[in-house]
Structure 1
Amino acid sequence: MHNAIKWVILPLAVLLLSACTPVINRKLSPPENTQWVNIEITNPSPYTQPFPLEVRYISNKCQKKRISGFDGSVISEPSYGAVHVPMQQNGDIWSGKVAITGGGICKWTLSAITFGIEYIDATHMGKDLVLGTAVGATFAFEHSAVRNGVFEHLSNSDVTLSPIYYPVIKTNKLIRQNDSLHLFGKDDFIKKRMLNLSQTVNIKFNPVLDESKIVRMVAPEKHIVGEFYKIIYPDGTVVSDGSIHPDIRKMGE
């Protein structure tokens, strides 16, 4: 009987908490004196395109509340708000800007920005290819944004990145009938932590796409213990050791 009562009370506590928690106002209103992050991306191919900036803000003023799964206590945490910022095209150059101080009632401040490129057309690489994952970079602007991953700290407010990416065609009949086309590099998403936010930040992303070297990954057609992806490199080398990401060192870098 004790366990039954506990399971009834916990959802009720969640309902009461939800009723008492105010709706978070996620409207942004950058002040006139805010600093900006200017992002410029050079699109490396007519078959790729930068995706909209994925921006996350944090508010320590408008906190959200949740119940701890350990002891049922109420925990207050910062709130987050996400927004997609479309980029403006001028030939091969795409640009966008993001306010470091988002302002608004909740005094939003910039937490992180993710940007990059993705394939938008795969017809030149093969018939009926499904478009796959993107590549790019994530820039963190406050400490909680670096919890998931290793970020390089930067004090310079002007940053230029020129990573090299390659296409990889994946065959996995257990997931989909058609092959899929992806991009990969040394780091699919470069991670940087900006330390100096007292001035405008300028980020230039000039990726290079080398389609002369194509990697193929073929998954087993059945779930069999000890059977892994076969990764086939441009020089004909085949690796099947449990890796699920191509080794950039085998691309001649």
Structure 2
Amino acid sequence: MKHVPLVALSILFISQSGCAKDYSLSPPPDSEQITVTVKVPKELEAEVMQVMYRSATCKRITHGASGQRIELEGYHGIDVYPQRQGQSDLYQASLPRDGGGACQWRLSNVTFGVTYKNPERFGQDVMAGAGGGIIAIFDHNNSPRGGADFEVAGDLVLKRDYYPWIKENFLDGYIKRVSLIGEGGIYVAYRALQARHVHFEPILHSDFKLYSVGVKEKKKGNYITYTYPDGNVVADGRPDSKFLRLQAIRLAAESKK
């Protein structure tokens, strides 16, 4: 298996003693590798992976409400570009668990996912929106976006359904985005302490689109209008699970085939 090298970011900080300290990553050759693989549908593309390492050796200093000094683990983030495996739809990166260096960095978490490759296919000036994100946490710390939604033993293998969500918003300027709506939030976080392999397969149901049109002014009785792929229109302001409704519509349609 081909490993994708991490680019060591050489950052020199000046300590209180006046000496420069090297905070760069320097993974040893024999470091255990965690392989992250994304199976990318043809309409989507893999996002850059945001990888965080932590160090108990190189502390960061903050202060409490009373001004007391608080020492926390240092952290170091890098971007890793997943590499396409031949002519397949698999994109992969290998992340050393041991980040090495003077700070003895240890892999903490990785944030990754998929997004629309060509959002303009939904109209001129349409932008790619949020959704389709995964966070894999490999230690007992939170990620930059919070803690874990789920705990997983062993490798992390995910297969999740997604639907296109085309949103038009008018307040504070017009903008149109195409997002991915799945079960859970924009990012779903998993703690996988023993994982050596992470495999994410997003299933895009592109024929079942959700459209929403925002209000043009804020006033009582104005609500976002949602149009579902079965033709139903909802604009009553009541909360519901858009994902579960989309799932039900798709499954009903497929059962009639």
Residue equivalent to 2:234:
238
Q: Matched residue of 1:206: which SS?
A: strand
Counterpart code for 2:56: N
The answer to whether residue 71 in structure 2 is matched with residue 76 in structure 1 is yes
* Inter-partner Cα distance in structure 2 for 1:36 and 1:194: 14
Conservation of the 8 A alpha-carbon contact between 1:150 and 1:191: yes
Q: Matched residue of 1:249: which SS?
A: helix
Counterpart code for 1:160: V
* Inter-partner Cα distance in structure 2 for 1:96 and 1:166: 26
Conservation of the 8 A alpha-carbon contact between 2:142 and 2:148: no
- Picking from 41, 56, 60, the partner of 1:60 is 56
Residue equivalent to 2:100:
103
Q: 1:211 to 1:103 in 2, by over 3 A?
A: same
* Inter-partner Cα distance in structure 2 for 1:102 and 1:162: 29
Structure 1 unmatched runs, 5+: 1-17
Conservation of the 8 A alpha-carbon contact between 2:120 and 2:127: no
Residue equivalent to 1:153:
151
Q: 1:29 to 1:36 in 2, by over 3 A?
A: same
Counterpart code for 1:133: A
Residue equivalent to 1:33:
30
Residue equivalent to 1:6:
none
Shift of 1:246: 5.6
Q: Within 5 Å, give how 1:1-253 maps onto structure 2.
A: 20=16, 25-45=22-42, 47-68=43-64, 70-89=65-84, 90-91=86-87, 92-145=89-142, 148-157=146-155, 159-187=156-184, 188-196=186-194, 201-225=196-220, 227-235=222-230, 236-241=232-237, 243=239, 247-253=242-248
**Cα displacement string for residues 149-203 of structure 1 (whole angstroms, at most 9, x for unaligned residues):** 443212213x321111111111111144242111111133232111226xxx112
Shift of 1:109: 0.6
Shift of 1:240: 3.5
Shift of 1:239: 4.3
Shift of 1:141: 1.0
**Cα displacement string for residues 38-62 of structure 1 (whole angstroms, at most 9, x for unaligned residues):** 11111112x3100111101111110
* Inter-partner Cα distance in structure 1 for 2:101 and 2:169: 47
TM-score, L = length of structure 1: 0.81
* Inter-partner Cα distance in structure 2 for 1:83 and 1:246: 35
TM-score, L = length of structure 2: 0.80
Counterpart code for 1:156: G
Q: Matched residue of 2:207: which SS?
A: coil
Q: Matched residue of 1:62: which SS?
A: strand
Q: Matched residue of 1:220: which SS?
A: coil
Q: Matched residue of 1:179: which SS?
A: strand
Identity %: 24
Residue equivalent to 1:7:
none
Aligned length: 229
What is the RMSD of the two structures over their aligned residues, measured on CA atoms? Answer: 2.4
* Inter-partner Cα distance in structure 1 for 2:235 and 2:193: 40
* Inter-partner Cα distance in structure 2 for 1:25 and 1:88: 28
* Inter-partner Cα distance in structure 1 for 2:173 and 2:208: 24
* Inter-partner Cα distance in structure 1 for 2:77 and 2:98: 14
Conservation of the 8 A alpha-carbon contact between 1:152 and 1:193: yes
